[in-house]
Structure 1
Amino acid sequence: MTTAQARPKPLEGIRIISLEQYGAGPFGSVHLADLGAEVIKIEDPSVGGDVGRYVPPYFEEEDSLFFETFNRNKKSISIDIKTEAGRAVFEDLVRNADAVYSNLRGDVPVKIGITYDQLKHINPAIVCCSLTGFGMTGPRMKEPGYDYVLQGLAGWMELTGEPDGPPTKSGLSLVDFSGGYVAALSLLAGLNAAKRDGIGMDCDVSLYDTAMAMLTYPATWHLNAGYQPRRISHSAHPSLVPFQAFEASDGWFVVGCAKEKFWVRLAEVIGHPEWAQPGSKYATFSLRDQNRDELTAELEAIFRTNTVDHWLGQCYPAQIPCGPINDVEAALKDEHLSARHMLVETDHPRYGTVTQLASPVRVGSELPSYVRAPQRNEHFSEVLTEVAGYDEARIAELKAAGAFGADAR
């Protein structure tokens, strides 16, 4: 191997058998697939496969833009693992795989036999990563876990929104997506240990654990100093002042002073350099926090006197952290997005060209290549012959036994 072009993708050679569905699980594995892992989706033919195929509003038959987002670069096969024949196929795939990956309710992995103890006799090095709502232990183990529920349960919604408004969820499914990242990280750590030791393991990952862990420093403050979080108007930071959304004459923008040097620069920009001088009631982090309401009112009055572009035009050259509050359309048109190769296109038989966001995970200088999400059961023959090692007679036998469901194609 003498050229960068000849170098394999970072995860090329890794095979993952995935019982994944909807958002959290597929979001985690799509980054692995982009990096070259062979992700084989086992889709249940009795329910039409991954429910993500039918998410409105942009879907027709079994094609949806939602499904495209989370399943590019993967393979699909329909197997009914509830049948004896389907279970045999699943185990043959496990025999020749590195990992089994799923996102199901916490009690389901054991029920359907996809934990390490239930598969190690087939493949002692198999890594079984189960992303569940509440984990595979504990009193909530059997509860279904959904992003919206967990944002409330983990305290996120109480922290979000205006002080006089209702608790508010994030506009994105951040628990699901964060859980997917955690599952991918756990799986990779497990694969490294299995390669080193020749022994696999379970990775018991949960959306609940993820959501709670992301409370980070407010949780530490509360546990050790009795801190009681509160919502602050205009999404302000709980301790750094100013660091929040401000309204200009024609819209909103964010400006933040995470270091004292930024406050010195901002004071110059707004025409009050004396506010950053020793002796000022706004001179330090602590003083600005103590006088938050007064300072915020002063800043709000100043920022309303001119446009977003004016203030950003003053703050950017001064290297003060700032930015516009974009709508989705404006965010997707930012020239930095394309400069970072974050927009990718795939060819699709129904949609023609599908444009979507790339994975932010970068390994080396080579950019990933992208293939559309698979049609249901698209890789039936490839997976059964190349991975399971079946011939046509064995496939016909298994099909007759119901391994692939009544609608096997």
Structure 2
Amino acid sequence: MTGLSDIRIIAVEQYGAGPFGSLHLAELGADVIKIEDARTGGDIGRHVPPFAEDDDSLFFQSFNRNKRSICLDLSVPAGVAVLHRLVEGADALMYNLRGDVPDKLGLRYADLSHLNPRLVVCSLSGYGMTGPRRAEPAYDYVVQGLAAWMDLTGDPAGPPTKSGLSLVDYCGGVVAAMSLLAGIHVARRDGVGGECDVSLFDTAMAMLSYPATWFLTRGHETRRKTRSAHPSVVPFGAYPTADGWLMLACVKPVFFERLTKVLGVAEVAADPRFATLAGRQAHQADLDAVLDSALSRHGTDHWVGLLSAAGVPCGPVNGLREAFEEPQAAQRGLVVDTEHPSFGTVRHVRTAGRAWWENPAPDRAPGLGEHREQILREELGMSAAELADLARGGAFGGER
């Protein structure tokens, strides 16, 4: 037994947020049983282009490695009966459903605790299980707009801009996974489970962090700045070089002093306008002009080499190709391979969770309903006749 291999999670999940959260748990060793609805072709992620075929896609593969799949129709009693059998032996039930749906499907802790009092039920919804938006569907980009992320992102002269990645989904999934593990810890300690109520909206609002504190305490509204600059620390942002862009992060005075020496403008650090953080913020345009002029003399790699050697936090603005060519990515083993019957060798970026145990070997995401026999017959001991009766009752929803 290693890692989280003693934890079984039933996941009624689809698309991004829920699967991303349970992916981290699966790659740390947990047994994640994914419940899909065959009537709609399973998890909608199976059909996301551009690389989608035969109820599978590279999008789906990226979110669902090391999981197992069963198809159930939870709108009929037979499907619910199978779910109840699974719940009896599980540590947690995890789902990313609209806030009002779990009540309709009987998936709340109050509905299931008689089957397994130690069960942890973790809901990851758009807006939570309470509040006026509870019954509304939500997606990452919508929540980015609602929670002020888009207003804080992009160039001041441009439109509100979303993050380049679905960070609300990803962070919501991680918060749900963390909450679920905390719930399992408490349930094992106290002998009684309960419910975790995580939402994308709560996650996005919580991540406003210090700009929220500035606003709530002093009424200060953080505004967008050019070139991805930090709202208060200068220099901290993207600067053009002779052949690209360089990110600088001079959070501490010593970093600024080192920067000016490397660039050959050491006198700038002593200039009264730039001698303090407040001064550099007040005269940012003047300072940026000096730094731009100096950096334009050489390319990004030249400056990264010199600045890194001097201990100045910096890095190139990479594209995907350059990011995966970084020696650090190779040394950390960030790329893993799985074998797929249609896509061949699929290369993934691994999840970031690491611990002292050896995690399971990377395995492809499951086919639609692939593990029904393994789980229900071999592990739960259901007979062929029992499965046939359940199928006639619509439990598996016309599984292909």
Bin for the TM-score computed over the shorter chain? over 0.9
Q: Which among 70, 75, 80 is matched to residue 68 of structure 2?
A: 75
Is 1:196 the counterpart of 2:189 in the alignment? yes
Aligned 8 A contact 1:242 1:256 in 2: yes
Q: Which residue of 1 aligns with 2:323?
A: 331
Aligned 8 A contact 1:24 1:176 in 2: yes
Q: Which among 257, 269, 279 is matched to residue 276 of structure 1?
A: 269
Work out the CA distance in 2 between the residues paired with 1:402 and 1:316: 62
Work out the CA distance in 1 between the residues paired with 2:304 and 2:273: 26
Aligned 8 A contact 2:93 2:120 in 1: yes
Q: Which residue of 2 aligns with 1:302?
A: 294
Work out the CA distance in 1 between the residues paired with 2:357 and 2:7: 20
How far the C-alpha of 1:48 sits from its partner, in A, is 1.1
Matches within 5 A, 1:56-67: 56-67=49-60
* One-letter amino acid matched to 2:354: R
Q: Which among 352, 365, 373 is matched to residue 360 of structure 1?
A: 352
How far the C-alpha of 1:256 sits from its partner, in A, is 1.5
Aligned 8 A contact 1:347 1:372 in 2: yes
Q: Which residue of 1 aligns with 2:376?
A: 384
Work out the CA distance in 2 between the residues paired with 1:365 and 1:255: 36
The size of the alignment, in residue pairs, is 400
Work out the CA distance in 2 between the residues paired with 1:220 and 1:106: 28
Aligned 8 A contact 1:23 1:70 in 2: yes
SS state at 1:356 partner: strand
* One-letter amino acid matched to 1:337: A
How far the C-alpha of 1:359 sits from its partner, in A, is 0.9
Work out the CA distance in 2 between the residues paired with 1:368 and 1:330: 28
Is 1:47 the counterpart of 2:40 in the alignment? yes
Aligned 8 A contact 1:96 1:387 in 2: no
Work out the CA distance in 2 between the residues paired with 1:331 and 1:203: 36
Is 1:238 the counterpart of 2:231 in the alignment? yes
Is 1:214 the counterpart of 2:220 in the alignment? no
C-alpha distance after superposition, 1:355-408 (max 9, x if no partner): 1011100011524411100001110101112443311121111112211122x3
Q: Which residue of 1 aligns with 2:309?
A: 317
Is 1:287 the counterpart of 2:244 in the alignment? no
Work out the CA distance in 2 between the residues paired with 1:366 and 1:220: 40
Work out the CA distance in 2 between the residues paired with 1:173 and 1:231: 20
Distance 1:387 1:111, change over 3 A: farther
How far the C-alpha of 1:352 sits from its partner, in A, is 1.4
Runs of 5+ in structure 2 lacking a partner? none
Aligned 8 A contact 1:89 1:388 in 2: no
C-alpha distance after superposition, 1:123-181 (max 9, x if no partner): 11110001000000001101111000011110011111111111000110000000000
SS state at 1:63 partner: coil
Q: Which residue of 2 aligns with 1:369?
A: 361
How far the C-alpha of 1:218 sits from its partner, in A, is 0.4
* One-letter amino acid matched to 1:254: M
* One-letter amino acid matched to 2:77: E
C-alpha distance after superposition, 1:326-374 (max 9, x if no partner): 1111111212112101110011111111110111000115244111000
Aligned 8 A contact 2:3 2:359 in 1: no
Aligned 8 A contact 2:29 2:359 in 1: no
* One-letter amino acid matched to 1:119: L
Matches within 5 A, 1:6-17: 8-17=1-10
CA RMSD between the two structures: 1.1
Q: Which residue of 1 aligns with 2:79?
A: 86
* One-letter amino acid matched to 2:9: I
Work out the CA distance in 2 between the residues paired with 1:132 and 1:367: 29
Give the TM-score normalised by the residue count of structure 2.
0.98
* Structure 1 stretches of at least 4 aligned residues deviating more than 3 Å after TM superposition: none
How far the C-alpha of 1:275 sits from its partner, in A, is 2.2
SS state at 2:185 partner: helix
Aligned 8 A contact 1:274 1:280 in 2: no
Q: Which residue of 1 aligns with 2:168?
A: 175
SS state at 2:104 partner: helix
Q: Which residue of 1 aligns with 2:138?
A: 145
Runs of 5+ in structure 1 lacking a partner? 1-7
Q: Which among 123, 126, 132 is matched to residue 119 of structure 2?
A: 126
% identity of equivalent residues = 53
Work out the CA distance in 1 between the residues paired with 2:359 and 2:266: 46
Q: Which among 21, 24, 34 is matched to residue 28 of structure 1?
A: 21
Give the TM-score normalised by the residue count of structure 1.
0.96
Work out the CA distance in 2 between the residues paired with 1:313 and 1:35: 36
How far the C-alpha of 1:276 sits from its partner, in A, is 2.0
